[in-house]
Amino acid sequence: MYTELSNTVPVAKGAFSDVRKLGDLADVLEVDCQHEAVTQVDRNDAESLIQRFRRERPSLVKNETARESIEEGLRAAANAMDSMIGRFCLETRLEEPGIQAQPKRGNDSSRRRYARWQFGINPDKFDPNDRYSDVTIRLPQREVKASQRLVKAKVMKKNAPAKLQFGCNSSRDMEATENDVWVMGLTKIVGWSLSCDNDDDEKVSFKCKGGIGERSLEIAAEAAVGRVWHLRVTFIHMYD
């Protein structure tokens, strides 16, 4: 449907609103360009898009093809910049006081019922039934998108630790078993939690290798036969 702007210039319905929204997007992008996480190359590319939008803005109401082209470029730049800044904020937050660090010796133990540990930065909410989910981490500066993967293992034999492993693979997602999980692309772990369904005064313990700031995490977890360990790994993709 079209609205008659004049006797000679038909304008698509919603075109004015679309151009105003692009103006808002360009303004946000212009501010994000100044963030210290943004590289000079990305800043230059974004500023070129903004300049193109402002230069062609008077004609965009009538030119749907140009409007769609500019919108695609602005949104792609905004998403890339948001991810870039989000990664920077997460990495900065990990260095601040109050963040639970992994055990320095790589191991810990507990006798409390349903033992649970949590390290690094993890989402406030998640679905316990989801094996793979996109999550939101709320930081003081902004909300950051991340991913979370569930790794499970059952203790099958006495004196034989359950093995849980998470890592990244360059070509494809790969899951040989519930306790051996790999995701595609270059990732960085920003947090993880580990829990066991043990009883009161039933000792459980674990040793870890890798983890926060790394691309992989390996856990060797000990408990009574039949007990189940749950490992939730929170990670970000380093490149979009």
Q: Supply 40's token pair.
A: 């000079």
Q: pLDDT > 70: what percent of the chain?
A: 91
Pick 115 or 8 by higher pLDDT: 115
Tell me how far the alpha carbon of residue 189 is from its chain's centroid: 10
| Residue 166 domain-assigned (yes or no) | yes
223 plus 175 within the same structural domain: yes
Range of the domain at 127: 107-237
pLDDT tens digits for range 89-139: 888 888 888 888 888 888 898 888 899 999 999 988 777 778 888 898 988
80 plus 130 within the same structural domain: no
Nearest to 191 by CA among 157, 223, 159, 236: 236
Backbone angles phi, psi at 183, to 5 degrees: -120, 155
pLDDT of residue 1: 47
119 plus 164 within the same structural domain: yes
C-beta separation of 139 from 146 below 8 A: no
3-state secondary structure string across 97-108: CCCCCCCCCCEE
Cβ-based neighbour number of residue 119 at 10 Å: 21
* Distance in angstroms (rounded) separating the CA atoms of residues 211 and 22: 41
120 plus 227 within the same structural domain: yes
Q: Which of 94, 119, 143 is the last residue of a domain?
A: 94
Nearest to 162 by CA among 183, 149, 180: 180
Count the helices and strands in the chain (H runs, E runs). Answer: 3, 13
pLDDT tens digits for range 171-217: 555 655 788 888 888 889 999 999 999 988 889 999 999 999 999 99
140 plus 187 within the same structural domain: yes
* Distance in angstroms (rounded) separating the CA atoms of residues 56 and 72: 15
pLDDT of residue 228: 95
pLDDT tens digits for range 55-91: 999 899 889 899 999 999 999 999 888 888 988 888 8
Please tell me the total count of domains within the chain: 2
